[in-house]
Chain A
Amino acid sequence: MSALIWVLAFLLAAAQPVQAVSAVPDAGEPAATVEMEEHADADHGHGASMPWHDQHTVFNRVCLLLRDASLPAFGAFGMSPEQAEEIANSVFQPFVVMTWIICGGLMVLSLYVRKRLGRVPQKDIAGFVEMCVDSLRGFTRGAIGPGGEEHAPFIASLFVFITLSNWAGLIPGLISPTGVSEGDFLLGLNTTLSLALVAIIYVHYVAIRKAGLKSYLLHFVGEPWWLFPVNIPIHIVGEVARPVSLAFRLFGNIGGEDKVLHFLAIIMFLSAVPLHVPMTFFAVFTGLLQAYVFTALTCSYIAGFLEHQGDAHGNDTHAGPATAQA
């Protein structure tokens, strides 16, 4: 359980800088290059103002209050007020604050449950968490193969974090960090891309650590070694495509789901037909399913690298059924 907490802390530390840096320029470029976009720019505001300043939900107000309260703290590090404002604008965006809330909640829960671990399972939330950890460990063993439990802390924390992020958008007033978008700004891609990058870096780390550097490089060379001029570029492109496809799949599924719910709720206000109610239950299911898909694909990437370990390179099934495509 303590390993789970540390991996969560690592996730948090790894995810935030990516979001803070890439949130603005990434999404801002397409709007700036199109000549017909002056009106949209006016809508989004100028200079230091960010798009989320214009939305007046309760959660956005709370984020703005947090931002204003934190400005003196940034000044204490010796930053100029403009620098402090720029950084605070990135760090206290609603979806980043939501990420912090989910991570903090998970950490507090883990610490609480660890304190209550005992010989007999508890009958409250501690028992529930124990059951979840048990089943996630079993899932990791099933997906990676025998001996896969040692990756369970990482895989399980990915699963729990992604599930809670997907479900957060179903609570009125909150947003899901994995699926939020505002107009042209596909903000959720920041979260999903950083998650996918962390997962892929972990996969390669495990591959080098467990299978050895030689076996890892032989994976790129491919089966008939004299085909290496073809195989190496193909494998490198495949490895680059993996995090991108992981991130886009998660973001597209959750973002599309939230958009559909949004439109169905508007239809409910117009026509009094509560179409969004069955869709909400379906969204609970798909939120869980997408977390499962993300972690299962990560597991099968790990398994694909680990199958080279030890035995000869005779078997051609190094990729398994799921990793044949990126």
Chain B
Amino acid sequence: MEAFGQAQWYFAILALGTALAVPIAALPACISQGRAAAAAFESIARQPSVSGDIRANLIISLALIESIVIYALLVFFLLQGRLPSLQQIIEAAAG
């Protein structure tokens, strides 16, 4: 029964980590993407003649910022496989 209690803690913390991995990474990434887009639009409004260059660089830098969140998403995919199903929890609790 001792081991079951420890496993409960392990899975509770694992579930929290799985659920919070993407939101914690996404929050600052959203803010910085917004800042990048705002700066790009400002400079396009100031100098519409170079809007093509600015747009290409904006897309690439947005992709680079986004990749951090994508790494968190991959961690989420990996952790998600470690979580037991409801069926397994019920069986473990009964046994």
Answer yes or no: do A and B interact: yes
Contact residues of A with B, CB < 8 Å?
Answer: 30-31, 34, 36, 39-40, 142-143, 181, 183-184, 186, 245, 248-249, 251-253, 255-256, 289-290, 292-293, 296-297, 300, 321-322, 325
Point out residues on B near A: beta carbons under 8 Å: 7, 56-57, 59-61, 63-64, 66-67, 70-71, 73-74, 77-78, 81-82, 84-85, 88
A39 touches B88 (CB 8 A): yes
- Minimum distance in angstroms from B10 CB to a CB of chain A: 9
In the complex, A297→B56 CA distance in Å? 11
**4 smallest A-B Cβ distances: which pairs?**
A252-B70, A184-B81, A293-B63, A322-B60
Our pick among B61, B71, B82, B84 for the contact of A248 (Cβ within 8 Å) is B71
Looking at A186, A322, A325, the one whose CB has the most chain B CB atoms below 10 A away is A322
Q: Closest chain A residue to B63 by CB distance?
A: A293
- The residue in chain B whose Cβ has the minimal distance to the Cβ of A185 is B81
On chain A, the residues within 8 Å of B67 by CB distance are: 245, 248-249, 252
Residue from the list A30, A251, A296 in contact with B56, Cβ < 8 A? A296
- Residues of chain A within 8 A of B85, CB atoms compared: 39
Q: Is the CB of B60 within 8 A of A297?
A: yes
A49 to chain B, nearest CB (A): 18
The one of B60, B71, B77, B84 that contacts A293, using a Cβ cutoff of 8 Å: B60
Most buried by A among B66, B81, B82, B88: B81
- Which residues does chain A contribute within 8 Å of B73, judged by CB atoms? 252, 255-256
Residues on the A chain within 8 Å of B71, using CB? 248, 252
CB distance from B12 to the nearest CB of A (A): 14
Closest B residue by C-beta to A324 = B64
Query: By the criterion CB–CB under 8 Å, are B78 and A248 in contact?
Result: no
> Can you list 29 A-B pairs with a CB-CB distance of less than 8 A?
A31-B81, A39-B84, A39-B85, A39-B88, A186-B77, A186-B78, A245-B67, A248-B70, A248-B71, A248-B74, A249-B66, A249-B67, A252-B67, A252-B70, A252-B73, A252-B74, A253-B66, A255-B77, A256-B70, A256-B73, A290-B63, A293-B59, A296-B56, A297-B60, A300-B60, A321-B57, A321-B61, A322-B57, A325-B64
What is the minimal beta-carbon distance from A178 to any residue of chain B, in angstroms?
13
The verdict on A181 contacting B64 (CB below 8 Å), with A289-B59, A296-B56 known, is: no
